[in-house]
Amino acid sequence: MNTFWKAIAPLAVVILIAIIPAPEGLAQHAWYYFAIFVGVIVGLMLEPIPGAAIGLIAVTLVSVFCEWVFYSPEQLAKPGFNVANASLNWALSGFSNGTVWLIFGAFMFALGYEKTGLGRRIALLLVRAMGRRTLTLGYAVMVADAVLAPFTPSNTARSGGTIFPVIRNLPPLYDSKPNDPSARRIGSYIMWTAIATTCVTSSMFLTALAPNLLAAEIIRKTVHVDLSWTQWFLAIAPAGIVMLLAVPLLTYVLYPPEVKQGSEVPAWAAQELKEMGPLSRRELLLGILVLIALGLWIFADKYVNATTAALMVIAFMLVTKVVTWDDMLANKQAWNTLAWFATLVVLADGLSKTGFVKWFADTMAAHMSGVPPTTAAVVLVLIFFFTHYMFASVTAHTTAMLPVMLTVGSTIPGMPMEAFALMLALTLGIMGILTPYGTGPSPVYFGSGYLPAGDYWRLGAIFGIIYIVVFLLISVPLLL
């Protein structure tokens, strides 16, 4: 498909949906907004222009036409309501989102690893130890995330801020470059393994993903069910362990690297390490700063926000001259991702603000009456899982959809509410695999240059289906 048709397709989708009458019970402005949102998703899939530009254009479009596509007549009629200021505040609100800045921080950490050479050193050590086979490198990435997961409530901090800055140094060792045909040599395999792994580990532990803790609190308040750390882990472990062990191998089969093995590479890595010599002052400083960040993320999340911890370390990186401000300004990937994800968070949030999400959930609830409880539970879990395409944040999804799904479930006679609540909550991590904006680390890996948009959407759908099928086949029979 050439660029012209890639540009026309999103516009055609918007117009086609917009001219269809709004479904019963949904306000017309919310339907128009949904049309724009679907057009954005199509644009992100086809990428006639960069994703960040698509997000910026869409936010601007909504802001300009907000009286018709965003605000209801009742909102517009409120005394003193300034539609121009309100629409601008909404459009820019993504730039004050903590997760957006944590993603930006992950790119800056990666910059530090690159500039000091520490990332290359760690990558060479990994290659020397496990580089004879690409598959074993995949398992090394998986193990690293799994070890950190129970203690790191932010998967962006864990995977985007700790794992990614190291593994991005692996592909160049195999002459695999970003935004280049050589990306498939090994870089694409490693990056997909990393993001697919962190989505599984995010579901496996109550403390591996901040929205898990939010979900537990919502469940306690809504249906009066208390979920413990052990109860959560035991419920997901049978399916989670299967998925976790399968990720590197599945990726190896479904998205195979061109480089499978090579004994000469570990030998070369050993020689490179010898030539690098001992740790430099800047490497040592960065190592200490990264350990401080990791310590704050694991042990002090109640006192220091994960994003604040990242910004603190970035400030120290500047003060100690680990990196310079000019280095940061030149990091186009970081600034591009900041703009891209800030606009996507806002656009996804708009679905809730316009009332589309509530209408969708209420519509689903109306069709659940008379359905057997087990069937209803499975159907509601599938709806909960796949509606994540409409969210750019697991936290937003949890806040908007979980109370509604729990309420719907509670109206079905015979529904085992503790099991049903667990079924919903345990999918929060794995649903992040669906899109390039599905969970915090997603934009980091999508922006790495090793995962083209078409590949990401295709693999996201494939792995999403695999994850939810494995979960339903293994965990659901044990819970119900």
- What pLDDT shows up at residue 10? 87
Q: Choose between 275 and 253: higher pLDDT.
A: 253
- Closest by CA to 449, choosing from 176, 173, 131, is 176
> Does residue 342 lie in a domain region?
no
Q: What is the rounded average pLDDT of the residues 219-227?
A: 84
- Closest by CA to 49, choosing from 3, 17, 88, is 3
Range of the domain at 295: 98-213+224-333
Phi, psi of 247 (to 5 degrees): -55, -55
- What pLDDT shows up at residue 449? 92
User: Does 45 share its domain with 75?
Assistant: yes
User: Does 104 share its domain with 44?
Assistant: no
Through-space distance between the first and last CA atoms of the chain, rounded to whole angstroms? 47
**Percent of the chain predicted with pLDDT > 70:** 99
| Cβ proximity of 163 and 145 under 8 Å | yes
- Closest by CA to 174, choosing from 127, 206, 141, is 127
User: Does 355 share its domain with 470?
Assistant: yes
Tally of CB atoms within 10 A around 113:
25
Integer Cα distance of 162 and 166 in angstroms: 7
> Does residue 339 lie in a domain region?
no
Element (DSSP H or E) covering residue 418: helix 417-425
Last residue of some domain: 96, 130, 164? 96
CA angle in degrees (0–180, nearest 5) for 56-430-202:
95
What pLDDT digit, counting tens, does each position of 258-292 carry?
988 866 678 878 888 888 889 888 889 988 998 88
- β-partners of residue 261 are 133
Tokens describing residue 362? 């209420």
User: Does 322 share its domain with 357?
Assistant: no
CA dihedral 2, 336, 12, 59 (to 10 degrees): -160
- At residue 435 the predicted structure's pLDDT band, cuts being 50, 70 and 90, is very high
Rounded alpha-carbon distances, angstroms, from residue 293 to 34, 289, 310, 401, 444: 39, 6, 6, 32, 18
| Cβ proximity of 311 and 355 under 8 Å | no
Q: What is the rounded average pLDDT of the residues 24-39?
A: 90
User: Does 254 share its domain with 310?
Assistant: yes
User: Does 113 share its domain with 19?
Assistant: no
Q: Within a 13 Å sphere around the CA of 206, how many CA atoms are in the beta-carbon half? A: 16
Burial class of residue 394, CB neighbours in 10 A (0-12, 13-18, 19+): buried
Integer Cα distance of 405 and 400 in angstroms: 9
User: Does 173 share its domain with 64?
Assistant: no
- What pLDDT shows up at residue 473? 95
Tally of CB atoms within 10 A around 217:
12
Alpha helix locations (H) across 367-413? 373-386, 394-410
DSSP state of 22: P
pLDDT at 1 over 60: no
What pLDDT digit, counting tens, does each position of 162-174 carry?
888 888 888 888 8
What pLDDT digit, counting tens, does each position of 51-75 carry?
888 889 999 999 998 888 888 888 8
Last residue of some domain: 279, 310, 333? 333
Integer Cα distance of 239 and 248 in angstroms: 16
- At residue 118 the predicted structure's pLDDT band, cuts being 50, 70 and 90, is confident
- At residue 241 the predicted structure's pLDDT band, cuts being 50, 70 and 90, is very high
User: Does 89 share its domain with 105?
Assistant: no
DSSP state of 49: S
- At residue 17 the predicted structure's pLDDT band, cuts being 50, 70 and 90, is very high
pLDDT at 369 over 80: no
What pLDDT digit, counting tens, does each position of 88-114 carry?
999 998 888 887 888 788 788 878 887
Integer Cα distance of 7 and 118 in angstroms: 42
> Does residue 286 lie in a domain region?
yes
- At residue 224 the predicted structure's pLDDT band, cuts being 50, 70 and 90, is confident
DSSP state of 441: T
Last residue of some domain: 81, 96, 111? 96
Q: What is the rounded average pLDDT of the residues 185-196?
A: 95
What pLDDT digit, counting tens, does each position of 310-366 carry?
899 999 999 999 999 999 999 887 898 788 878 887 887 788 788 887 787 777 777
Residue with tokens 């190592």: 287
Tally of CB atoms within 10 A around 228:
10
User: Does 232 share its domain with 356?
Assistant: no
- Closest by CA to 474, choosing from 251, 254, 245, 253, is 245
Question: How many structural domains are present in the chain?
Answer: 3
Q: Choose between 376 and 99: higher pLDDT.
A: 376
User: Does 400 share its domain with 413?
Assistant: yes
Helix, strand, or coil here: 428? coil
CB within 8 A of 387, min separation 6: which ones? Answer: 357, 360, 397, 401
Q: What is the rounded average pLDDT of the residues 240-264?
A: 91
The alpha carbons of the chain give a radius of gyration, in whole angstroms, of 23
The pTM score is 0.78
- What pLDDT shows up at residue 340? 82
